[in-house]
C-alpha cells in the first residue's frame, strides 16, 4: 500500500477527477423506471434472500449508497426498494450536487446526501441494513480500510454489495493507465489536458496497434467518458478472487455470493454432456467457493467486475437452495414473487403469455441472472400470475394447481394432490435458482 502522503495524493486526484466529471454523465432526464433487469442487484430483498433464505420487504430498511456519484445508482436503489430510508455519500461535492438535483427531480427529496469519504462513515452515527458500493471500492487507496469502514456501520444481519475490477479481464486498460501515467498525462496535468493527451495519442495510433484495436475502436462520440472511466481513471486497480477473499477476511466479512452467481459456475466452462476428467471431478467436489471462483477466473476471465454480496463473518449465511429440500420441508413453505418483476411492462407481457399459453423470454426483465437465453414456458408463467396479488403457501398453491390442472395429460385420469405437489417441487427450484421467486421454508 502507498504511504500516507501518497494516499492523500490519490485521494485528492480521485476527488478532483470526479469533481471535473461526475460519474456517470447520464442526463438528468433519464429515468430508469422500467429498467427492471438493471434494478435486480439494487433490490435489497435479493441480497437478504441469498443470505438467509428469507423474504425481507424493503419498507423501513436503512440503505446506504457509498460512492453514489451523480446519483443514478441512488435513484435505482430508491426505485428497487420502495419505503426504504436511503442515505448516499460521495467523496466529490460536485457529484453529490448532481445526485441531489437528480433525486429531487423525481421526488426523492428525503434521501440524505453527504459529501464525505466512505472511510469516515462512522461519523454518520448510524447503522445500515444494506450497503451498496458500486464501482467505487477499487478506487480507494486502501480497499480493506473501505470494507472495514462499511462493516463497522453494517447491521448484524446486514449485507454489503460491492465490486472490484478484475485484474485479468481488464488488463488492457491497466496497461493504458500505466502508459498515460508514464507519459505524465495523469499525475502532472489537469483533467482537461489529460483527456486531450490521451485522445490525441489513441487517435494517432495505427488501427492494428493493440491498444487502439482493443480499447479505442468504436468509441467515437464517447471519447471523453470512455477515457475518464478507463484509460486515465485515477486510483483504478485490478484484483483477483484470491485478493477479494483476503480483503474480506481482513475486514471480518464473509462472501455471501457473487451478485451474478449463475455466470460464475466453473462446471459450465466444460463441454456439455461429458464427464469431467477424474482429477477435476475430485478436486471440484472438495473445493471451497474461493477455489471454484478462482479457477473460473483463470479459465475464463470475462467478468469486468468481481461483483459480490458479503456480510459479517460472525453471523454466517443460512441460505440453502430449494432444490436440496426434502418434500416434508415444502409443507411449511411460503412463496414470493421477485419484487423487481412487479412492473407494468412485465404485467402486460405476463397477461399476454398466460392468456394464450405462450412462452416468454425473461432476459429483458431480469437479464443479469443468466448467461444464456432464458425462455420460460406457460406453466412457470402461470406461477408468476398466481403470486402476483400476494405470496402463497406451498399448500395453497398445490390446491390451486390441482384445480387448474384437473386432468393428467398423459393418462387422462384425474390428477391427485400428491402428483401436483411433486410437479411443483420439480418446477419451483429452477425458478428459485434464478430468483424469479423466493421460497421461505419453515414459516408456512
Ligand atoms: C465510478 S464512480 C461510481 C458512481 C456510482 N456508484 C455508479 O456506479 O454510478 C466512483 C465514485 O466513487 C467516489 N469515490 C471515490 N473514492 C471515494 C471515497 N474514498 N469515498 C467516497 N466516495 C469515493 C467518486 O467520487 C465517484 O463518484
Q: What is the 3-state secondary structure (H, E, C) of 182-231?
A: HCCCCCCCCHHHHHHHHHHHHHHCCCCCHHHHHHCCCCCCCHHHHHHHCC
> Does 40 sit in the ligand 1 pocket, CB within 6 Å?
no
Q: Which of 21, 114, 139 to mutate to test the pocket of ligand 1 (most atoms within 8 A of CB)?
A: 139
- pTM (predicted TM-score): 0.94
236-245, 285-294, 365-374: segment of lowest average pLDDT: 365-374
Cell of 204: 494517432
Atom of ligand 1 nearest to the CA of 95: 27
Segment 404-424, tens digit of pLDDT: 999 998 899 999 999 999 999
Q: What separation in Å is there between the alpha carbon of 36 and the centre of ligand 1?
A: 23
> Does 118 sit in the ligand 1 pocket, CB within 6 Å?
yes
Q: Whose CA is nearest to atom 1 of ligand 1?
A: 135
Beta bridge partners of 88: 65, 113
Q: What separation in Å is there between the alpha carbon of 97 and the centre of ligand 1?
A: 13
Contact 198, 231 (CB under 8 A): yes
Averaged pLDDT, 171-188: 91
pLDDT band at residue 368 under the 50/70/90 scheme: low
* Those residues with Cβ within 8 angstroms of residue 397's Cβ, 6 or more apart along the chain or in another chain: 335, 383, 386, 424
pLDDT value, residue 361? 87
Flag whether pLDDT at 186 surpasses 90.
no
Q: Hunting for cell 441531489 — which residue is that?
A: 100
In eight-state DSSP terms, residue 392 is E
Q: What separation in Å is there between the alpha carbon of 59 and the centre of ligand 1?
A: 26
Segment 331-360, tens digit of pLDDT: 999 999 999 888 888 899 999 999 998 999
Q: Whose CA is nearest to atom 19 of ligand 1?
A: 117
pLDDT value, residue 9? 87
pLDDT value, residue 185? 86
Q: Which of 2, 69, 121 to mutate to test the pocket of ligand 1 (most atoms within 8 A of CB)?
A: 69
Largest Cα span, the chain: 81
Quick one: which of 395, 429, 424 has its CA closest to 320? 429
> Does 42 sit in the ligand 1 pocket, CB within 6 Å?
no
> Does 69 sit in the ligand 1 pocket, CB within 6 Å?
yes
Q: Which of 8, 17, 18, 114 to mutate to test the pocket of ligand 1 (most atoms within 8 A of CB)?
A: 18
> Does 77 sit in the ligand 1 pocket, CB within 6 Å?
no
- Cα distance between residue 161 and residue 259, in whole Å: 8
* Cβ burial, residue 372 (10 Å; 0-12/13-18/19+): exposed
Q: Which residue has the higher pLDDT, 278 or 35?
A: 278
Q: What separation in Å is there between the alpha carbon of 307 and the centre of ligand 1?
A: 15
Segment 88-104, tens digit of pLDDT: 999 999 999 999 999 99
- Cα distance between residue 437 and residue 53, in whole Å: 11
Segment 253-268, tens digit of pLDDT: 999 999 989 899 999 9
pLDDT band at residue 7 under the 50/70/90 scheme: low
What would you report as the CA-atom Rg of the chain, rounded to the nearest whole angstrom?
A: 24
Instruction: Say how many CA atoms lie within 13 Å of 193 toward its Cβ.
Output: 9
> Does 41 sit in the ligand 1 pocket, CB within 6 Å?
no
Flag whether pLDDT at 371 surpasses 80.
no
pLDDT value, residue 8? 61
Q: Hunting for cell 480500510 — which residue is that?
A: 145
> Does 14 sit in the ligand 1 pocket, CB within 6 Å?
yes
pLDDT value, residue 4? 43
Amino acid at each position: 500500500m502507498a504511504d500516507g502522503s501518497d494516499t492523500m495524493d490519490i485521494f485528492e486526484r480521485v476527488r478532483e477527477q470526479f469533481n471535473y466529471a461526475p460519474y456517470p454523465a447520464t442526463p438528468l432526464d433519464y429515468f430508469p423506471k422500467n429498467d427492471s433487469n438493471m434494478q435486480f442487484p439494487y433490490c435489497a430483498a435479493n441480497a437478504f434472500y441469498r443470505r438467509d433464505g428469507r423474504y425481507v420487504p424493503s419498507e423501513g430498511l436503512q440503505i446506504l449508497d457509498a460512492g453514489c456519484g451523480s446519483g443514478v445508482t441512488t435513484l435505482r436503489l430508491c426505485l428497487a426498494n420502495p419505503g426504504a430510508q436511503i442515505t448516499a455519500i460521495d467523496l466529490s461535492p460536485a457529484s453529490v450536487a448532481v445526485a441531489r438535483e437528480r433525486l429531487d427531480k423525481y421526488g426523492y427529496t428525503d434521501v440524505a446526501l453527504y459529501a464525505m469519504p466512505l472511510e469516515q462513515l462512522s461519523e454518520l452515527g448510524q447503522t445500515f441494513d444494506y450497503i451498496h458500493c458500486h464501482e467505487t471500492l477499487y478506487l480507494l487507496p486502501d480497499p480493506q480500510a473501505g470494507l472495514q469502514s462499511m462493516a463497522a456501520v453494517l447491521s448484524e444481519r446486514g449485507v454489503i454489495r460491492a465490486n472490484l475490477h478484475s485484474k485479468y479481464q481488464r488488463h488492457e486498460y491497466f496497461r493504458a493507465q500505466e502508459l498515460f501515467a508514464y507519459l505524465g498525462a495523469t499525475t502532472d496535468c489537469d483533467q482537461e489536458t489529460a483527456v486531450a493527451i490521451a485522445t490525441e495519442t489513441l487517435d494517432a495510433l495505427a488501427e492494428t496497434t493493440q491498444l487502439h484495436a482493443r480499447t479505442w475502436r468504436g468509441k467515437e462520440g464517447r471519447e471523453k467518458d470512455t477515457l475518464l472511466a478507463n484509460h486515465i481513471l485515477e486510483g483504478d486497480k485490478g484484483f483477483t478472487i484470491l485478493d477479494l477473499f483476503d480483503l474480506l477476511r481482513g475486514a471480518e466479512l464473509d462472501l455471501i455470493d457473487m451478485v451474478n452467481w449463475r455466470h460464475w459456475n466453473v462446471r459450465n466452462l466444460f463441454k456439455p454432456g461429458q464427464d469431467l476428467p477424474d482429477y477435476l471431478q475430485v478436486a471440484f467436489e472438495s473445493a471451497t467457493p474461493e477455489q471454484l471462483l478462482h479457477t473460473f477466473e483463470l479459465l475464463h476471465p470475462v467478468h469486468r467486475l468481481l461483483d459480490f454480496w458479503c456480510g459479517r463473518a460472525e453471523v454466517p449465511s443460512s441460505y440453502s437452495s430449494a432444490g436440496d429440500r426434502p418434500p416434508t420441508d415444502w409443507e411449511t413453505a411460503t412463496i414470493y414473487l421477485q419484487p423487481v418483476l412487479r412492473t407494468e411492462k412485465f404485467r402486460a407481457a405476463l397477461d399476454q403469455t398466460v392468456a394464450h399459453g405462450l412462452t416468454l423470454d425473461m432476459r429483458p426483465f431480469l437479464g443479469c441472472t443468466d448467461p444464456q437465453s432464458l425462455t420460460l414456458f406457460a406453466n412457470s408463467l402461470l406461477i408468476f400470475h398466481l403470486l402476483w396479488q400476494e405470496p402463497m403457501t406451498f399448500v395453497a398453491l398445490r390446491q390451486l394447481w390441482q384445480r387448474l390442472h384437473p386432468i393428467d395429460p398423459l393418462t387422462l385420469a384425474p390428477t391427485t394432490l400428491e402428483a401436483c405437489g411433486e410437479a411443483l417441487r420439480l418446477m419451483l427450484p429452477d425458478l428459485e435458482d434464478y430468483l424469479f421467486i423466493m421460497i421461505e421454508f419453515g414459516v408456512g
